[in-house]
């Protein structure tokens, strides 16, 4: 059984026990979060009906926070001496999927 969930504008294919990085989620380490299901597949039976998916709950446990790779941004304009350097590191929350409840 697996599900396609939405988190932070992205979609992830998950099954029970998977560990994934999602955009930063509020919550303490060890607490549980619910992810919105967009599709559920169970032994070849695929469900995409919004009425049925409203009852599906995908729960995950927060494992901790991690940082993504460093991105270096450099702006430059010719002949004016304008140079600007900036860096960015996105923060992610690492979660472990603990259950997919279909509500049946």
Q: Which region, left, alpha or beta, applies to residue 3 given φ > 0 means left and ψ of -120 to 50 means alpha?
A: beta
Domains in the chain: how many in total? 1
Q: What tens digit of pLDDT does each residue of 27-86 get?
A: 999 999 999 999 999 888 898 889 899 999 999 999 999 999 999 999 999 999 999 999
User: What is the reported pTM?
Assistant: 0.82
In angstroms, the CA 32 to CA 86 distance is 35
List the domain range (segments joined by +) for residue 19.
2-101
């Amino acid at each position: 059984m697996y599900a396609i969930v939405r988190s932070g504008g992205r979609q992830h294919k998950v099954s029970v026990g998977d560990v994934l990085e999602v955009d930063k989620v509020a919550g303490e380490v060890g607490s549980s979060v619910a992810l919105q299901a967009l599709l559920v597949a169970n032994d070849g039976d695929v469900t995409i009906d919004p009425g049925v998916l409203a009852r599906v709950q995908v729960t995950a446990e927060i494992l901790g926070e991690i940082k993504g790779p460093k991105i270096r941004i450099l702006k430059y304009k010719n002949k004016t001496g304008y140079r600007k350097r900036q860096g960015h590191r996105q923060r992610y929350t690492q979660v472990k999927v603990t259950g997919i409840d279909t509500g049946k």
